[in-house]
Chain A
C-alpha cells in the first residue's frame, strides 16, 4: 500500500528496513531518462504510457480499417484476399476494443482518478505498473501472430466451432486467446487497484456524491471489469484447452453445444460495451459543464443512470443472439430488457442537453467533440432501439446496419469522448495547449469522415449487405438511390477523410510539442480537483491535500455567489489557491519508490504464452520468471537507500519514499 496518509495524520516517519536485502535494491528515483519510465510506479507516468501505447494501437487498428474499406470500395475487391481480410476484420475489432479504447480509458483513469479524488497516487502503485506492462506485452504478443503464420481469423467474437483447430489451423487464434488472457490480467489488476483507490483514498470531505462524474463512471467501469473479465478468462481457457490440449468443450461430435461459447462471450461482451462507452460519458460530463459555465444538470441522475446501466448491462447479453435459436421466451425477455437499458441511457442525453441549456457556451475543440458525442451517440442509441426489437433484429443482425450502429456508439461515442478528453486534459498532462486551429481541422474532418463512413452503412445493411464478407457482388447490389455500389464507395471515401482527420491530431501533438504555447494554470476555468495543481502536476500531485466541501470544489473556491443579486463573482484565481496550498504544504509526503519487479513479472507472461503454443519447456521458463518476479516483488526493500541516490540524498529529504 502506498500513500494513504492524510494531512491530519501525525507526522511520524514510517518504519523503513534499514538495509537492502542482498542484491535486491529499489531503483533510484529519477525524473528523466529511460529508467524513469521503465521502473516507474507513478500513476501519471503510467497514464501517459498507457495513452501513448493505446494511440499507437489506434493507428494500427485504423490502418486495418482503411484496408478493409479499400477492399470493399468496389465489387469483387482485390486489395486483400479472403484469408487476409478475415484476419484484418478480426484484428481491427480486437485492436480497437482491447488495445485502444480500453487502455485509453486506463490512461485517463490512471492519470486523473487520483487527481480528481485528491490522492497522491493509486492504492497499489507497483500493481499499477505491472498492469501497464502486462497490457503492453499482451498487445505486442497478439500482433506477433501477423509475422508467425497469420493473425486470428475468427472474428473478435471467435464463435465456436469456427475457432477450433480444424477450421482455423494457423496459430492466429492461439495468439489471440493467450494475448487477450494477458491483457485481461492487466484489466483485472487495474480494476482492483482503482476501486480501492476510489473507495479509500478520497480527499477529506469528498463523499461519493461529491466525486467528479468521470471518476464515478470510471469506477462503475472498474466494477464491470471486475466481474466481466473472469467470464472471458474462463472462455479463453476453454478455447485454449480445446485448441492446444485436445479438450472438447465446443466439439459437437463429443456432445458439446457451441452455444456455450456464445453465452460466455456475450456475458462478457455486453458489459464490455459499457466498459468502452461509460468513461467517455464521464469525460463529456466534465467537459460540458466547464464550457457551459454551469454545473452538470442533474448530477445524481447522471451518476445513478450510469450505475443503473452498469447493473442492467448484465441482463441483456442474449440480444446478440436473437438469431441463434434461443426460443421465443428468451428472445422476448432479452428484447424487453434491452429496451429497458435505453431509459437510463436516454437520461444521460437529456442531462447533457440540459447542461448546455441556459449556459454560456464556449466552443473549444474539446467542447465540439463533446457536443458531437451527444448527437452521434443518440443516432447510435436510436438504431440500437430498432434492433432491441427482436423481430427486426433478425433482419438487421450481422448486416452493415449493425456495423453502422456500433460505430456510431463506439466511434461517435467512445472515441469522440476520448478526443474531447485529450483536448481538455492535454494542458494538464503536458503543460501545453493543443492548437485549437489544427484541432478544428481535426474535429471537422473526423466528424465529416465518421458520418460519411458509417452513415451509409445504415443503408447498406437495410439493403441486405451482410458483415464480414471479403467481397460483395454487383449481382446483389440493386439499382437506384440505394444501390450498394454507390454507398460502399462513399463509405470508403469517408474512411480516408476520417483517417486524415485523425492524422491532424497527431500533427497537432507534434506541433504543440515543438512550439506550443505554455498553458496557463487554469486554461479552461475548470471546476474539479485535478486542476487545483500545477501543469503538469508535481510528482506528489498536491502540496497539501485539499479538504472538499462541494461537488465542483475548484469552481467554488474561485467563485462566490452574491446572495442578493444571484450574481456569480470571481473571488480568487487558481494562482492564489495554489499559492495557499503551497504555504500549507504537508510536512511529510510519502511517495512510492520505483521498482524493477513489475516489468520482470509481466515479461514472464508472454513467455509462458509462447511456450503453451510452441513448446512446454519454454512455458516453464516463463513460469520461473513469474515466480522470480513475485519473490523479488515481495522481498525488495520498501524504499531506495539514501546512499543509492546520486548525489546521495540528504536524510531530511521532504519527500519520503516507501513501498
Chain B
C-alpha cells in the first residue's frame, strides 16, 4: 500500500492513538485481519475507503468499551444486589448530579466523534482534484460503464463496457452514477462506501485503488428479482496496463474469416443484435448492425458485447467467463503479474462453457428476471433482462465459437 496519499491529520491522530492504546481489543484486532471475504469492509485498498476505516475503527473501539462498561455494571448489579434476604432497600428516587454527569460524558464523547465525522464527510465529498471520469449506469440487473473521451488516458473514442469496471491505479476516478429503471447502489467496499444510482439524477462517487487487482462489489439497493445477482468487479491495472486495455478496447472489429465462428456471427446478427451491440459488426450487405434494445427491453439497454472476452464475467457479473481454476489464477495473481494475466482475456481453454451455454439455452432459468411471463403484458411486451430465445444446440455451438473470438 502506498503511503503517499493525503490523509486528514486529526483523524489519523485518533487512529494512531488506537494503534498505541488499544491493540489488545480483541474485537477490533480480529475483525481487522485480512484474508477475509472479498467484500470485507475493514480492508481498505484505496484512500477513500481508508478515510472511512480510519474513522470507524476508533468509533468501534469506543462503542466496544462503552458496551463492556454497561454489561459489567449490569452484571455486577445482578450479582451484588440479588435477593439474599436483605431488608427492603431505601426508596431512593435518583441522584440528579450523577444523572447529569452520566448524560454529559456520553454527550462529550459523541461530540468528539461528531467533529471527526463531519470532517470526514466533507473530505470524502471532495471532487475538484478528479483525474478521470467514468459514467456508470445501473439497470436491472447489471452495470454499464461508459468511458467518455479522455485523450490523456488514450481514450480517443468512447468505450462502453459492462461486467467489470477497469480503472488505472493511483488515479482519482469519478463515477458519475445514474440508473435507467429503479434505484441501484454502487458498492466496492475496499475502494469506497456505497452510493445510490437513482434514475433522473446523477450522483458522484469517487474511487481510487492503490494496487492492481480485482475488487469485488455488489448492488446494495434492493432492485427487484435478481438484486442478489447484480454483482460488480472493479479491476485496477497499472497505468501502462490500463493504456494497453484502452488500446485493446478501441481496436477495430475483426470479423471471423470462416468456419463455425463465421456461422456464429450470422446467428448473432439474426438473434442477438436486436439488443446487443458489437461495435464494427456489419450485416451481410455491409450496413452496420445497430442494436435497438430500447424496442425490446423495459429498461432500454443491453450489455455491449464488443471485446466480450476481455472481461472475466457476464450476465451482470453473475457468472464467470473463466473456469474456476483460471479465475483463481487471475484473482490470486500478485500485483506485479496481475495486469498481464488480466489483459490476456479469456482463452478457449479457460472459457466457462457450462454457464455460457446454459445462459444461451435459457437465460431466465439461470437468473430470475421476471416472476411470471404472463405479467409481461403490463410492459407492452418488453422483456426485463434476456428472454428465452429457443436457440437450437447447433446455434449455441456456433454462437460460442463466435463469442470466443470477441477480444
Q: Chain A residues in contact with chain B, CB under 8 A?
A: 81-83, 86, 150, 153-155, 159, 161-162, 165-170, 252, 256-259, 292-295, 297-301, 323-325, 327-328, 331-332, 335-336, 339-340, 342-343, 346-347, 349-351, 353-354, 356-363, 371, 374-375, 378-379, 382-383, 385-386, 388-399, 459, 461-472, 475-484, 559, 561, 566-568
> Which residue of the partner chain, among A161, A346, A386, A475, contacts B56 with CB atoms under 8 Å?
A386
Q: List 18 A-B contacts (CB under 8 A).
A: A86-B224, A256-B200, A258-B198, A293-B89, A301-B99, A323-B185, A323-B220, A354-B95, A357-B73, A358-B92, A378-B66, A378-B70, A382-B64, A382-B67, A399-B41, A466-B187, A478-B40, A483-B36
Whether A357 lies near B77 (C-beta < 8 A) is: yes
Q: Which of B150-158, B254-262, B368-376, B398-406 contacts A (4 or more CB under 8 A)?
A: B368-376
B52 within 8 A of A: yes
How distant is B165 from chain A, measured CB to nearest CB, in Å?
16
Query: Contacts A362-B83, A462-B41, A482-B31: A323 and B375 contacting too (C-beta < 8 A)?
Result: no
Interface centre among A81, A379, A392 (most CB of B within 10 A): A392
Query: Contacts A295-B93, A356-B78, A466-B220: A166 and B52 contacting too (C-beta < 8 A)?
Result: no
Annotate B148-178 by CB proximity to A: 1 below 8 A, 0 otherwise: 0000000000000000000000000000000
Which residues of B lie under 8 Å from residue A295 when comparing CB positions? 91-93
Query: Contacts A258-B199, A397-B220: A331 and B121 contacting too (C-beta < 8 A)?
Result: yes
> Which residue of the partner chain, among B52, B63, B74, B198, contacts A353 with CB atoms under 8 Å?
B74
Which residues of B lie under 8 Å from residue A167 when comparing CB positions? 140, 181-182, 224
Interface centre among A323, A386, A464, A470 (most CB of B within 10 A): A464
How distant is A342 from chain B, measured CB to nearest CB, in Å?
6
> Once bound together, how far apart are the Cα atoms of A379 and B220, in whole Å?
24
B22 within 8 A of A: no
Closest to B31 in A: A462
> Once bound together, how far apart are the Cα atoms of A325 and B206, in whole Å?
12
Which residues of A lie under 8 Å from residue B125 when comparing CB positions? 327-328
Whether B94 lies near A395 (C-beta < 8 A) is: no
> Once bound together, how far apart are the Cα atoms of A331 and B218, in whole Å?
23
> Once bound together, how far apart are the Cα atoms of A299 and B94, in whole Å?
8
Whether B228 lies near A398 (C-beta < 8 A) is: no
> Which residue of the partner chain, among A161, A350, A375, contacts B102 with CB atoms under 8 Å?
A350
Query: Contacts A323-B196, A335-B114: A361 and B82 contacting too (C-beta < 8 A)?
Result: yes
Closest to A297 in B: B94
Closest to A478 in B: B37
Please list the 10 inter-chain residue pairs (A to B) with the smallest Cβ-Cβ separation, ordered nearest first: A464-B39, A394-B193, A478-B37, A469-B228, A298-B94, A392-B56, A325-B203, A82-B368, A83-B371, A169-B375
Which residues of B lie under 8 Å from residue A339 when comparing CB positions? 110-111, 113-114, 117
Query: Contacts A324-B198, A328-B125, A398-B194: A391 and B222 contacting too (C-beta < 8 A)?
Result: no
> Which residue of the partner chain, among B38, B56, B379, contacts A166 with CB atoms under 8 Å?
B379
Closest to A566 in B: B90
B88 within 8 A of A: yes
Query: Contacts A161-B182, A351-B99: A82 and B121 contacting too (C-beta < 8 A)?
Result: no
Which residues of B lie under 8 Å from residue A298 when comparing CB positions? 93-96, 99
Which residues of A lie under 8 Å from residue B30 when comparing CB positions? 481-482
> Which residue of the partner chain, among B38, B114, B198, B223, contacts A464 with CB atoms under 8 Å?
B38
> Once bound together, how far apart are the Cα atoms of A399 and B203, in whole Å?
21
Whether A559 lies near B194 (C-beta < 8 A) is: no
> Once bound together, how far apart are the Cα atoms of A356 and B83, in whole Å?
11
> Which residue of the partner chain, among B71, B87, B121, B224, contacts A332 with CB atoms under 8 Å?
B121
> Which residue of the partner chain, among A335, A382, A398, A481, contacts B63 with CB atoms under 8 Å?
A382
Whether A482 lies near B194 (C-beta < 8 A) is: no
Whether A297 lies near B93 (C-beta < 8 A) is: yes
Whether A478 lies near B36 (C-beta < 8 A) is: yes
Closest to B223 in A: A162
> Which residue of the partner chain, among B35, B94, B225, contacts A83 with CB atoms under 8 Å?
B225
**Category for how many chain B residues contact A:** 35 or more
For chain B, residues 30 to 54, give those with C-beta under 8 angstroms from any C-beta of chain A. Answer: 30-31, 35-42, 49, 51-52
How distant is B209 from chain A, measured CB to nearest CB, in Å?
16
> Which residue of the partner chain, among B73, B118, B187, contacts A336 with CB atoms under 8 Å?
B118
> Which residue of the partner chain, among B60, B83, B194, contacts A397 with CB atoms under 8 Å?
B194
Which residues of A lie under 8 Å from residue B140 when comparing CB positions? 167
How distant is A481 from chain B, measured CB to nearest CB, in Å?
7
B4 within 8 A of A: no
> Once bound together, how far apart are the Cα atoms of A308 and B190, in whole Å?
38
B221 within 8 A of A: yes
B297 within 8 A of A: no
How distant is A36 from chain B, measured CB to nearest CB, in Å?
41
> Once bound together, how far apart are the Cα atoms of A505 and B73, in whole Å?
29
Query: Contacts A150-B371, A331-B121, A378-B67: A294 and B181 contacting too (C-beta < 8 A)?
Result: no
Which residues of B lie under 8 Å from residue A150 when comparing CB positions? 371
Whether A82 lies near B228 (C-beta < 8 A) is: yes
Which residues of A lie under 8 Å from residue B200 when comparing CB positions? 252, 256-258
How distant is A207 from chain B, measured CB to nearest CB, in Å?
15
> Which residue of the partner chain, among A294, A356, A466, contacts B218 with CB atoms under 8 Å?
A466
Which residues of A lie under 8 Å from residue B81 when comparing CB positions? 292, 356-361
> Which residue of the partner chain, among B63, B78, B88, B185, contacts A293 with CB atoms under 8 Å?
B88
Which residues of A lie under 8 Å from residue B99 when comparing CB positions? 298, 301, 347, 350-351
> Which residue of the partner chain, among A81, A297, A483, contacts B92 with CB atoms under 8 Å?
A297
Which residues of B lie under 8 Å from residue A356 when comparing CB positions? 74, 77-78, 81
Whether A170 lies near B371 (C-beta < 8 A) is: yes
B347 within 8 A of A: no
Whether A162 lies near B42 (C-beta < 8 A) is: no
How distant is A179 from chain B, measured CB to nearest CB, in Å?
20
Whether A301 lies near B94 (C-beta < 8 A) is: yes
How distant is A466 from chain B, measured CB to nearest CB, in Å?
5
Which residues of B lie under 8 Å from residue A353 when comparing CB positions? 70, 73-74, 77
For chain B, residues 96 to 154, give those with C-beta under 8 angstroms from any C-beta of chain A. Answer: 96, 98-99, 102-103, 106-107, 110-111, 113-114, 117-118, 120-122, 124-125, 140
How distant is B73 from chain A, measured CB to nearest CB, in Å?
5
> Once bound together, how far apart are the Cα atoms of A332 and B123, in whole Å?
11
Which residues of B lie under 8 Å from residue A481 when comparing CB positions? 30
Closest to A359 in B: B81
> Once bound together, how far apart are the Cα atoms of A467 and B222, in whole Å?
8
> Which residue of the partner chain, among B86, B98, B122, contacts A360 with CB atoms under 8 Å?
B86
Closest to A484 in B: B37
Which residues of A lie under 8 Å from residue B90 when comparing CB positions? 294, 358, 566, 568
How distant is B139 from chain A, measured CB to nearest CB, in Å?
12
Which residues of B lie under 8 Å from residue A351 when comparing CB positions? 94, 99
B396 within 8 A of A: no
Which residues of B lie under 8 Å from residue A161 when comparing CB positions? 181-183, 199
Whether B41 lies near A396 (C-beta < 8 A) is: yes
> Once bound together, how far apart are the Cα atoms of A335 and B92, in whole Å?
37
> Once bound together, how far apart are the Cα atoms of A349 and B41, in whole Å?
30
Whether A323 lies near B59 (C-beta < 8 A) is: no
Whether B70 lies near A354 (C-beta < 8 A) is: no
Which residues of A lie under 8 Å from residue B39 when comparing CB positions? 463-465, 476
17 more CB-based (< 8 A) A-B contacts, given A167-B182, A170-B372, A325-B198: A166-B379, A293-B89, A323-B185, A332-B117, A332-B121, A354-B95, A357-B81, A358-B90, A361-B78, A375-B70, A391-B51, A395-B49, A464-B39, A466-B187, A469-B227, A476-B231, A568-B89
Whether B194 lies near A394 (C-beta < 8 A) is: yes
How distant is B110 from chain A, measured CB to nearest CB, in Å?
4
Whether B40 lies near A336 (C-beta < 8 A) is: no
Annotate B192-222 by CB proximity to A: 1 below 8 A, 0 otherwise: 1111101111011000000000001011111
How distant is B40 from chain A, measured CB to nearest CB, in Å?
5
Whether B228 lies near A472 (C-beta < 8 A) is: yes
Closest to B125 in A: A328
Closest to B204 in A: A325
How distant is B168 from chain A, measured CB to nearest CB, in Å?
24
B289 within 8 A of A: no
Which residues of A lie under 8 Å from residue B60 when comparing CB positions? 386
Query: Contacts A83-B371, A356-B77, A395-B56: A340 and B221 contacting too (C-beta < 8 A)?
Result: no
